[in-house]
Amino acid sequence: MINKVKEKLILIGMPGSGKTTIGKLLAQEYNCSFCDMDDYISQISQKSITELFSEGEGVFRDYETQACKELSISDKTVVSTGGGVIKKNVNMDILKETGIIVFINRPIQRILEDININSRPLLKNGKDRLYNLYNERINLYKRFSDIEILNDKSLNNAVYNITNEISKNFKFAFKEK
């Protein structure tokens, strides 16, 4: 049991794992705000994620760290991060301070069935890139997460599993409706 009261839910996982959709459902469940970190990065940079990546992944990652810092002081929020937020330890240190880190683990085959790869900057080179990213990142997702949920059934099932784990194991700043 973690003793410090946490004020945010931070969702991590692969692109297409369901972080944004599940995050919106969790925000409804907990009657709090929702933030998609990529949208927030676009807002603070005044550029699209694709534009930032065209300037270099490092440029995007710097904005991502800025977003982590700013969102860590926001009010009670569910935050859906980008898939690579775990690539910088500093990001996870910042987010873990006030948030419960939830790893949404979705089987790669299910992701490939669901997403438009062309709309994802890091996946534009094809399906093999998704498998490579998964292999690069899986240990980081597991290392940084407080909770791991397998998203291989319904969205409601994923939300139920997350809220159940939180109520059993954490002091969380807000309760379900």
Confidence (pLDDT) at 98: 87
Instruction: Report all structural domains of the chain as residue ranges with CATH numbers, in order of start.
Output: 12-166 (3.40.50.300)
The mean per-residue pLDDT over the stretch 131-151 comes to 95
pTM beyond 0.95: the answer is no
More confident residue, 162 or 109: 162
Confidence (pLDDT) at 95: 96
CA nearest neighbour of 164 among 19, 26, 63: 26
More confident residue, 126 or 140: 140
- Does the pLDDT of residue 125 top 90, yes or no? no
Q: Check: CB of residue 149 under 8 Å from CB of residue 103.
A: yes
